[in-house]
Amino acid sequence: MSQSFILKVQNLKVVFLLAMAISVIPSYALNAGVSKKLKALIIDGQNHHVVWPKSTIMLKQYLEETGQFTVDIARTKYLYHSTAFQDWLPFAGVQEGIETAPKTDPNFNPDFFKYDVVISNLGYKAAPWPEQTQRNFEAYMKNGGGFVSVHSANNCFANWNAYNQMIAIGGWGGRTDKNGVYLYVDAHNKVVKDSAAGIVGAHGKREPFLVTLYNTTHPVTLHMPKKWMHAKDECYAYLRGPAENVSVLATSVSVKKNPELQHKEPVVMAIDYYKGRVFHTTLGHDTESLECVGFITLFKRGTEWAATGNVKRNKMPKDFPSKNKVSKRTFVYEP
């Protein structure tokens, strides 16, 4: 047998082994240091907030217009509160669902490892995922995946311990003081983890309110104005959970608490979950709040950070809101 033949066989073995290794590397690892577009997955289907069929499309378009993302949508077969904005359902390009009371879709099992970041547009009363899907998502996050929790995504999955660790704090959905501590910023501007018993989740009427940065050096908030007016929205309060490995990035004042307390509620957070990153914002109740330039900017930045650990495009838009005035962009769907 010739030496050249032996070398060819050895080279083929090396190529085969390299191909096998690459096949099991998740998308976010392959994309590291590469300029190709990031892959995002939006999950929806069950949400007490009836705007969700439209808000999914809004979130998708916001990411795609950056030129940084390609976006897929994974929708549960069983839908909840989908009829009010049902005209928006087909724009997702997914299978037609069935409107019913919330229940688990036994076949819901996205391939999370294909994506750099997963965004939840689920909400209050969303049914639990199948057990194996939960374990798959935990593995994805533990191995460096990215997750974005928008508004009422922190209302669901109260009995899923790993999910509560990912989002740090949540509200409603059967949560009690056994789920963890309250998290807020006190009168001395210190982050407090409060184990007092009490309600879990509250908000006042929808109205514009001031957002104040708490962390001005994090990649998501870097170069942002210290204070800016958010469009009409719900300001969540009395959220609680494990509150581990969480950085409060921005706060707002809730009307549900006594003003004398001078408490500030976390409305933007960054959480480390093993090797994974979570961007959690309580903002984004409906179309008006989602059209706020402040929300749009935060969402784009937070999703990029969750996907990569950095924010490269951090130039502030010229129409960003001031501390005295809301700034919105009327959403126009672009197929």
Q: What is the pLDDT of residues 292-314, one digit of tens each?
A: 999 999 999 999 999 999 999 88
Tell which residue, 119, 109, 112, has the closest CA to residue 148: 119
Q: Residue 24: pLDDT above 60?
A: no
Contact yes or no for 188/285 (Cβ under 8 A): no
Predicted confidence band of residue 26 (pLDDT cuts 50, 70, 90): low
For residue 134, the Cα-to-chain-centroid distance in whole angstroms is: 16
DSSP-derived pairing of the beta strands 181-185 and 191-194: antiparallel
pLDDT at 12: 43
Residue showing tokens 């509200």: 171
Question: Is residue 121 pLDDT above 50, yes or no?
Answer: yes
Mean pLDDT for the stretch of residues 120-143:
98
**What's the average model confidence in pLDDT over 135-158?**
98
Reply yes or no on whether the pLDDT at 327 is more than 60. Answer: yes
Average pLDDT, the chain: 92
> For residue 245, which phi and psi values (nearest 5 degrees)?
55, 40
Q: What are the tens digits of pLDDT across the range 238-291?
A: 999 999 999 999 999 999 999 999 999 999 999 999 999 999 999 999 999 999
Q: What is the pLDDT of residue 314?
A: 85
State which CATH number among 1.10.287.990, 3.40.50.280, 3.40.50.880, 3.90.1300.10 fits the domain covering 38-308.
Answer: 3.40.50.880
| pLDDT over threshold 80, residue 27 | no
- Percent of the chain, pLDDT > 90? 89
Q: At residue 31, does pLDDT exceed 70? A: no
The pLDDT score that the predictor gives to residue 23 is 42
b (16+ CB within 10 A) / e for 6-33: eeeeeeeeeeeeeeeeeeeebbbeebee
pLDDT digits (tens, 9 = 90+) for 191-209: 999 999 999 999 999 999 9
Task: Give the number of other CB atoms < 10 A from CB of residue 169.
Answer: 30
What pLDDT is attached to residue 306?
98
